[in-house]
């Protein structure tokens, strides 16, 4: 368990650092207020987690520990959006498929946005 936590921590550190660098670079390179840097990181993270989650020791890929570091660690630090999309794809493979995965996406986006607004409202009520 400690080994897994350390692997995820190292991957997270590298992923989070790269997220900041790539996002800032893209945002500085492209003028405007649209958050293109974040969008680039999110899409790139989805592409990478698609690759990393498909690697298995069965097909000559990587060990479960390395896959954990790359998916939960690196991609999780790089962007949680990639994990969100990977979980959506996993739900699609399940017995309930499209309905459950669609509910997961809708509920996550709606509740996440409501929570963000609630947090902002809470802080503003004290100012």
CA 31 to chain centre: 25
Closest CA to 17 of 43, 41, 48: 41
Check the annotation: does 79 bind a ligand. Answer: yes
* 76 annotated as ligand-binding: yes
80-93 and 36-54 helices cross at what angle (nearest 10)?
50
DSSP code at position 30: S
Which residues carry a binding-site annotation?
76, 79
Q: List residues forming the annotated binding site for Na(+).
A: 76, 79
């Amino acid at each position: 368990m400690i080994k897994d936590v350390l692997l995820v921590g190292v991957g997270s550190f590298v992923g989070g650092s790269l997220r900041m660098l790539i996002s800032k670079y893209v945002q500085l390179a492209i003028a405007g207020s649209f958050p293109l840097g974040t969008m680039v990181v999110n899409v790139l993270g989805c592409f990478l987690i698609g690759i990393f989650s498909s690697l298995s020791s069965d097909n000559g890929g990587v060990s479960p520990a390395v896959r954990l570091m790359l998916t939960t660690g690196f991609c999780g630090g790089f962007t949680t959006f990639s994990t969100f999309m990977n979980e959506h794809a996993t739900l699609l493979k399940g017995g309930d498929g499209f309905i459950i995965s669609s509910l997961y996406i809708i509920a996550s986006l709606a509740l996440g946005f409501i929570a963000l607004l609630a947090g902002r409202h809470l802080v503003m009520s004290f100012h």
